[in-house]
Amino acid sequence: MTSVVITGKRYLTKPEEAEKFGPFERTYLAEGDSWMDSSAWNQGSLPEFLVRGFNRRGRSRLIVNISTSGHTLTKIVDMMNDELVWWLNQGTYDALLFSAGGNDFIDAARDAPPGQGLLFDMRGKPMPANGYDCVNPAALQRLVDYLNVNFAAIYQAVRSSGKNAATPIYLNAYDTPQARDAPAIRDLAGPWLYTAYTKNGIDPALWDQLTAGIFKDILHTITAWADGRSGVHVVPTSDLLDKAVPGSTGDSKDWVNEIHPNKSGWKKQVEAWLPLLS
């Protein structure tokens, strides 16, 4: 018995590459951001390590992966009619594995001009007692409200699809990283939080508190998506990983770069997923 992950595009053109290992006990559809995207060979992903976990347990599972690194929840909703809805109409899945929201928070902190996004511009201002005081609560509320509307659209798309109206949705809850100057390999992307904090003049002594507060907000936002929604489950992945060494610029502890786990980190993450999917 063998488990396999294959990208949606590859499955359409070369289905035999996966089907030769079938028939499969269960089939999952994975959608989301870089935590789900398997295209970064040097980084790893949840589906890749889930498959390894299934294989260690003698399970036969297929994961069709339509995730895209860097995608925000907003982008997923914008593309929904072109991709996610199409895949929902192709077959019945035993679960939708979904990772989104983290990039939306990070982009809101990093991409806007200083003081115009999620963070206050702290340049020239007294250092607050708590790093989380650097978060603009009005901007946070606007972001959360916007994400809630977007997830509602995803949920409605799944529930209104004839074949997957009852398909469970499992939500990635991420884990809290260490803000540091650790981009993806060869500076292809990132750093993310480090850029946001330095742009807004936030003292490094505040970074740990600020990052912990932001990722609690991410967790609370994602957890709330399951409230009152049938079949939506939040996977308890927070507080599983050992944080990287402050000031490190590469692979450290359970992190390959600033915001993505390494091999040891992914192994810890999937241990929270496997019991729910088995």
How is 42-101 classified by DSSP, letter by letter?
Answer: TT--HHHHHHHHHHHTT--EEEEE---TT--HHHHHHTTTTTHHHHHTT---SEEEEE-S
What distances in angstroms separate CA 148 from CA 77, 104, 105, 151, 221, one per listed residue? 12, 12, 13, 5, 8
Model confidence pLDDT, tens digit, residues 9-47 = 999 999 999 999 999 999 999 999 989 986 555 678 999
Look at 85-89, 183-187, 228-232 and tell me which has the smallest mean pLDDT.
183-187
Is the pLDDT at 187 greater than 60, yes or no? no
What is the model's pTM?
0.95
Residue 99's SS3 state is strand
Report the mean per-residue pLDDT for the chain.
Answer: 93
Residue 142, H or E segment: helix 137-159
What domain range is 149 assigned to?
Answer: 4-277
Q: Read off the pLDDT of each residue in 201-206 and give the average, rounded to a whole number.
A: 98
Q: How far apart are CA 133 and CA 278, in angstroms?
A: 41
State which amino acid sits at residue 93.
Y
CATH number at residue 83: 3.40.50.1110
Residue 268, H or E segment: helix 263-277
How does residue 69 score in pLDDT terms, banded at 50, 70 and 90?
confident
The pLDDT score that the predictor gives to residue 40 is: 58
Is the pLDDT at 189 greater than 90, yes or no? no
Is the pLDDT at 81 greater than 70, yes or no? no
Which is higher by pLDDT, 174 or 1? Answer: 174
Is the pLDDT at 122 greater than 70, yes or no? yes
Is the pLDDT at 71 greater than 80, yes or no? no
Residue 250's SS3 state is coil
Residue 231's SS3 state is coil
The pLDDT score that the predictor gives to residue 72 is: 67
Q: Read off the pLDDT of each residue in 198-222 and give the average, rounded to a whole number.
A: 98
Q: How far apart are CA 126 and CA 238, in angstroms?
A: 32
> Which percentage of the chain shows pLDDT scores above 70?
93
Look at 76-80, 140-144, 203-207 and tell me which has the smallest mean pLDDT.
76-80
Model confidence pLDDT, tens digit, residues 7-16 = 999 999 999 9
Total number of domains in the chain: 1
Is the pLDDT at 244 greater than 70, yes or no? yes
Is the pLDDT at 105 greater than 60, yes or no? yes
Evaluated on CA atoms 63, 68, 36, 154, the torsion sign reads negative
State which amino acid sits at residue 19.
E
